[in-house]
Structure 1
């Protein structure tokens, strides 16, 4: 092992990175579903918002995987391992646009909470690189949460 992390801490950090990598892929796939299946008076805006937010989440997958490698771990590489590793649930069934937004919001809140804990664990382990990655990526999820919350609180019944 070439890092200065103790083996037990390194394993813990890689497990968390793998979880967030899997979460990012599941959330991305959920966003693609929302993008393809959105409808209604805000179709264009929601179609584009889901595409934009999904693309930003997709961009985090490689960063999380490469961070695992940087600390001498292994990323989630087998497609069959993504769902069992993720805590974000895959979207299922037909949803209203409001339900799509609520589902995405719930996923972001989960990821934000986990990344806060993961950043603390990384900092405590002395892995400032991983802590910094979480600090940066959590801001992506916070921005997405903000946009989604704004859609839900307007009360104009356009997202229903």
Structure 2
């Protein structure tokens, strides 16, 4: 007869109810971040026009950072004891960022990315109270960094439209 190892219960000072609420917000953030990653990567591939080189390079920098962010968010969800979502249907259901059909003009790509980055900020901000209530500084730190980065990205993109 084999002995089965028991997985120890999570005891990080945050109860399961609070961890559940935090993960709900992080799952929405993961969905928005992945959707923004896909949108940015799509625009990187398909941008044309006089701003091609600038936007192609800028979008690559942005989607590369987003790929790391997706991993950080998913790993935080795992650290809290829950599975991270990873299907397009889950992301589509939870994301506040709409898909963009076709290939927009470069200036429209910029506008759409401003809107999407601002949506990620709102989603992160919406997840913050659950982390704060539970005293989850690790998640609060992650959310704060995501908000700061997306606010800055939106500003930089918006500056291209002036």
Q: Name the TM-score, length of structure 1 as normaliser.
A: 0.88
Tell whether the 8 Å contact from 2:28 to 2:123 is kept in structure 1 after alignment: no
2:156 to 115, 139, 147: 147
Q: Deviations over 1:4-57 (max 9, x none)?
A: 323322111111111111111111110111111111111110111111111111
Structure 2 equivalent of residue 135 of structure 1: 144
Structure 1 equivalent of residue 116 of structure 2: 107
Counterpart CA distance in 1 for 2:141 and 2:128 is 7
Tell me, yes or no, if structure 1 residue 71 matches structure 2 residue 77: no
Structure 2 equivalent of residue 13 of structure 1: 22
Counterpart CA distance in 2 for 1:88 and 1:114 is 10
* Structure index of larger Rg: 2
Structure 1 equivalent of residue 90 of structure 2: 81
Structure 2 unaligned spans of 5+: 1-8
Structure 1 counterpart SS, 2:84:
coil
Structure 2 counterpart SS, 1:141:
helix
Tell whether the 8 Å contact from 1:14 to 1:74 is kept in structure 2 after alignment: no
Aligned residues: 153
Runs of 4+ in 1 over 3 A off after TM superposition: none
Tell whether the 8 Å contact from 1:56 to 1:140 is kept in structure 2 after alignment: no
Structure 1 unaligned spans of 5+: 154-160
Q: Name the TM-score, length of structure 2 as normaliser.
A: 0.87
1:57 to 62, 66, 72: 66
Q: Deviations over 1:133-156 (max 9, x none)?
A: 111122221221111110112xxx
